[in-house]
Each structure stands twice: as structure tokens, then as C-alpha cells.
Structure 1
Amino acid sequence: METTLWLFAMCLVLGSVVGLLAGLLGIGGGLLVVPALAWLLPQAGIESGLVMHIALATSLASIVLTSGSSARNHIRLGNVDLQAVKLLAPGIVVGGLGGSVIAELVPEHLLPKIFAAIVLMLALQMLASIRVSQNNRTLPSSAKCIGSGGVIGVVSSLAGIGGGSLTVPYLNWHGLEMRRAIGSASLVGAIIAIAGMVGFIVAGVGDEALPAWSIGYVYLPALVGIVSTSVITTRYGAALVSRTPTATLKKIFALFLLFISVRMFIG
């Protein structure tokens, strides 16, 4: 019980940081939650063979509420392009469900390296686009958006994230102003997380090795701790977006991606 309470307290702190970044950058926080839980869960007595799956599933479950709260604040501020979200949503749902299935098949040690390479490329693309204040690109056809959403959903579910690190650069590259790309990514992240979370819950049902207070691979003490504070701090991050110049947002986002990429490469 003591280790569970310690884990809950640590997740309260983690959630406050995750919520702020969710509102500011349009991410669900999985890029922080998954590595943090991978370190915290073994110290709370969770069996090592279950740690990565529990971390991914719990991260996605927390993103449902964190990104949902962030999206609500961005909608209120007029930062969400609902048409872009509708175009990406079908592929995202299928991809999110598919990613949770693929996670059972791919060797666990390969997932962080694959995603680190993707995040690095996105960071470099974002840095290269800082001087481009506006472009003439528009969102591609519905079929291409569905395909792109599928890729975002699969990769996001595999990495236990809401997909903001993929969705924000994608939408910004296709002509959405940075603030609207961030706001739209928050809503997209909630959709991805719901699909991925359901997949991990189903995959974990019946596993007798899971700890108490688990629903599938979702570990409730960690989930409740994270969302208790994250849903509060998202409003402050969303407010900062409306006051921050586009170039500055891109720099912050790119540096954040670079940091996460390096951390994933070195383990």
C-alpha cells in the first residue's frame, strides 16, 4: 500500500507538468508519461515484463482526459479546425486500435528506437519551417487524410502518446496556423487515446499477473494521480498559446521533440 501511495503522489506531480505541456503544445503528454511510468512502476512493485504495456495503456487512458480537457479549452479559444479533425478521425480510430494489436507483436526494445527516429525527423522539419510564416498548402484529399490519420494512429498507439508530436507538424505543414494546429491536435489526441486505450484494455483482460486496481493494462492508481492535476493545468497551457508568437511556439515544440528523441535513443 505504501508503494502505491508513493506512486500516486509522484503521478500527481507528473500530471501537473503533463497538463501544462498538453495545453501549450497540443500533446497528450505520453512522451513524458511513458518514460516516467517505465521508471516508476518497477519501484512500485510492478512485474518487469508488464511494465511497458501498463505504461503505454495508462498513458493513453490519461491522454483521453488530458487531451479532452485541453481540446475543450482550445475550442473555447477558437483554436480548433473541426474540418481537419473530421478528415483525420476515421484513419486515426482504425490506426489507434491497430497499434495496440501490433504492440503485442513488435519486440519491446525496438519501439522506443523506431519512434525516436520519427520524432527526430519531425523536430528537424519543424525547425526548418520556423522562418516560413505561411504556405500555400492545403489539406490533401479525404483518402490521403484517412491514410495519414491511420499512420498517426498506429505510431501513437505503439508509443502510448496522443499523437500531438505527429499531428501538429502534419497540420502546420498543410497550411494550418500553428495555434490552430496545436488546438486541433488536442482533439485528435483524445480520439487516438480512446481507440488505443480500448485496444490495450481488451488485450490485457484475463492476464492474472496484472496488479490489483488494473482494468486490462490500465493501472488506476497511476491514472487517477496523473489526471487529477493534468486536467487543471491544461487551461494555463492553452492560455499561453494565444499569447505566444508562432515562431516561438515552433521553437519550443522542436526543442521538446529533440529532447524526447535523444532521451529515447539513449534509453
Structure 2
Amino acid sequence: MPPISELMMFALALAAAGVVAGVLAGLFGIGGGAILVPVFYQVFGLLGVDDAVRMHLSVGTSLAIIVPTSVRSFLSHYRRGVVDIDLLRNWLLAVPLGAVLATVIAAYVSSETLRLIFAVIALAIAFRMIFNRASWRIGKDLPNNPVKWLVGVAIGVLSGLMGVGGGVLNNTFMTLYGRPIHQAVATSSGVGVLISIPGLFGYVWAGWGEAGLPPLSTGFVNWIAVGLIIPITLLVAPVGVALAHAMGRRQLEAGFGIFMTLIAFRFFYSLYG
């Protein structure tokens, strides 16, 4: 068992990370994964976690935190009747399959590869946020299978590799096919459930027995972070929400796009700087 002082320092650093992630998640209306992963990556680095497992640990821990928040969000949206249940039924196997495939990939790729994947997808998300136009459409309704089913698998894979709940990717998919943004956001909460639960177990399996993990970790999931971050993010998220209501939609989209661009370049710098 590590010294109490080491555990306390670890807990305090993660608590500070939770405050930052909670405010930013509330500000930008994102489930938190896109924010938690880079925050965890920085904090785990400051705490001396081995570079070989630092990104994997960040992604796995982020998915574990998304489980209760996505379930709570889905139930709330479901009661309001705005979730596209037909789409979720169609993706009941596709999205979890993608999430499981992501954990299998993560078990065999390096930390550098995971950072590169996160940075590339983050840049694509940033482009969409900064330059988004309401007129951008691919079709008037969602495509039929097998295209729709394969999109679900792809969202599961990419989200599982990034440690996110799939909200930004699913929102983009649904709105490009003419679905209202409120329906897209509500349905994304269900997608988050389908990604985070298999992702959690998958990252526990992928990191089982790995060396260099911090105290109280099971595979690539750190339970100190999970236990601290969930209540802290729920507590401080309203601060970010209040800030969000003081800004326009385009300001928020551009702000999140700029944030994701900075994160992407931070990861690119860690790879090639």
C-alpha cells in the first residue's frame, strides 16, 4: 500500500482536475470525456504515471466516469420523449461492438498511437464546431442499413479510443441528416450508455496486470479518480452552465472548437515536439 501522503497528493490533484473538467463540461455542454481525457493526461503526468500507460489510463478512467452520467442523462431525456429509440435499438449491438473493438485495439497499440488518434479526431471536431453551418446536410433522413449500422460501429470504435461518450460524433451524424439538434443530443445520451459500459469493462481487461499504474487502479481504470471526479463535476458543472447562458451559441461552438484545437496541438507536440 502506498504512503498516505502519496494518496493524498494524488487525490488533491485529481480533485482539481475535476473542478476544471466540471466547469468546462458545463460551459460547452459536453458529457466530459473530450475534456477529462486531456485533463487526466496532464494530471497523471504531473504525478509521475508511466508514459507507456498514461493515455490508456486517461481514456479508461474517462469512460468509467461517463457511465453514471450518461445513464442519468438518458433517463431524463427518455422521460421527456425526445430520444430516437428506433435508432438506439438499431445500434444496440453495433455501438457496443465498436466500443469493445476499441478496447481490443487499445490493448495492443502504444500510448503514442492513442494520442495521435485523439488529436486527429479532436481536430476534425474542432473544424466542425468552428465552421459549422446549419445548412450543412447530407440527406433528409438517416441512411438505411447496413450504412446506419456501420456508422454505429464506427462511432463506438472512435469514441472508445478517445474515451468519450460519442455525443459530438452522433450529434454530427444526426444533424447532417436533418434531425433536430435537441433529438440528436437526447439520443446521444443513450449512445453514451452503449459506449461507456462495455468500454469500462474492456479497459479493465486491456490493462489487467500492467506495470506502472497508480494506486487503486483496476486495469486502465483508476478508482480514486472515478470516486472524486463524479461528485465534483456534478457540483461545479452549474458554474459552467451559468457561463454558457451568458454566451451565444456560435460563441460556444467556436470556443469549444478552439479548446479542442489547443488540445490536439498539445498532443501533437507531445508526439513530435
SS of structure 1 residue aligned to 2:107: coil
Change (3 A) 1:224 1:77: same
What TM-score, normalized to structure 1? 0.82
Instruction: Confirm or deny that 1:35 pairs with 2:42.
Output: no
Do the aligned partners of 1:165 and 1:257 also contact (CA within 8 Å) in 2? Answer: no
State the Cα distance separating 1:17 from its structure 2 match: 4.3
2:16 is aligned with 1:8: no
Q: Deviations over 1:194-246 (max 9, x none)?
A: 11111111122334654442222211111111112224455777899999876
Residue 145 (structure 1) aligned with residue 148 (structure 2)? yes
After TM superposition, give the deviation of residue 249 of structure 1 in Å.
5.6
In 2 relative to 1, CA 260–200 (structure 1 residues): closer, same or farther, beyond 3 Å?
Answer: same
Could you say what secondary structure the match of 1:103 adopts?
Answer: helix
Distance 1:50 1:117, change over 3 A: closer
Residue 97 of structure 1 aligns with an amino acid whose one-letter code is V
> Is the alpha carbon distance of 1:109 and 1:84 closer, same or farther for their aligned partners in structure 2, counting shifts above 3 Å?
same
Report the CA distance between 1:69 and its aligned residue: 3.2
Look up the equivalent residue of 2:133 and give its one-letter code: I
* 1:193 alignment partner AA: S
2: CA distance between counterparts of 1:238 and 1:71? 19
User: 215, 218, 221: which one pairs with 1:215?
Assistant: 218
Letter in 1 for 2:160: S
Q: CA separation of 1:9/1:30 partners in 2, compared to 1, >3 Å: closer, same or farther?
A: same
Partner residue, 1:86: 89
The Cα offsets for residues 119-170 of structure 1, whole Å up to 9 and x where unpaired, read as 3223323444424288852111132222111111111111222222322212
Q: Which residue of 2 aligns with 1:185?
A: 188
Contact 1:22/1:186 (<8 A) preserved = no
Q: How many residues align structurally?
A: 267
Cross-structure match for 2:172: 169
1:156–1:162: 8 Å Cα contact kept in structure 2?
A: yes
1:97, distance to aligned residue in structure 2 (A)? 0.6
Which segments of 5 or more consecutive residues in structure 2 lack a partner in the other structure?
none
Q: Which residue of 1 aligns with 2:228?
A: 225
Equivalent-residue separation in structure 2 for 1:216 and 1:127 (angstroms): 36
Match of 1:123 in 2: 126
Q: TM-score, normalised by structure 2?
A: 0.80
Distance in 1 of aligned mates of 2:247 and 2:75? 19
Gaps of 5+ in 1: none
User: What is the letter of the counterpart of residue 205 of structure 1?
Assistant: W
**C-alpha RMSD of the superposition:** 3.3
Q: Which residue of 1 aligns with 2:161?
A: 158
Residues 253 and 78 of structure 1: CA distance in aligned 2, closer, same or farther (over 3 Å) = farther
Shifted more, 167-176 versus 96-105: the winner is 167-176
